Amino acid sequence: MTSPGRYHVLLAAEGRPVQHGWWNREETARDKFRRWVGEYGSMPAARVTLTDAESGDVLAAWPDQQEA
């Protein structure tokens, strides 16, 4: 069985997951992150995150801060 990849990109809208993917290369995952922000950023309450699944660190998030 193949590992899904170290880097996870998640698109959520209105607090619900819409789409996600896993990549082995951080560069590829960051490219996907930027594309999803451009393609889906206009969705109501959209949020895109890039996480390093190995360390658990959030490497990028859009928008930068969630509204309270």
> pLDDT digits over 17-32, tens only?
999 999 999 999 999 9
Query: What's the domain range around 46?
Result: 7-54
Question: Percentage of residues in the chain with pLDDT exceeding 70?
Answer: 91
Statement: residue 56 has pLDDT above 90: yes
Domain count for the chain, please give it.
1
Interval 32-53 mean pLDDT:
96
Phi-psi region of 15 (alpha: psi -120 to 50; beta: other; left: phi over 0): left
Task: Decide if 17 is inside a domain.
Answer: yes
What are the tokens at 35? Answer: 């594309």
The pLDDT-based confidence of 68 (bands split at 50, 70, 90) is: very low
Statement: residue 58 has pLDDT above 80: yes
* Cα–Cα nearest to 25, from 9, 37, 40: 9
* Burial of 33: CB neighbours in 10 Å, binned 0-12, 13-18, 19+: buried
Task: Decide if 67 is inside a domain.
Answer: no
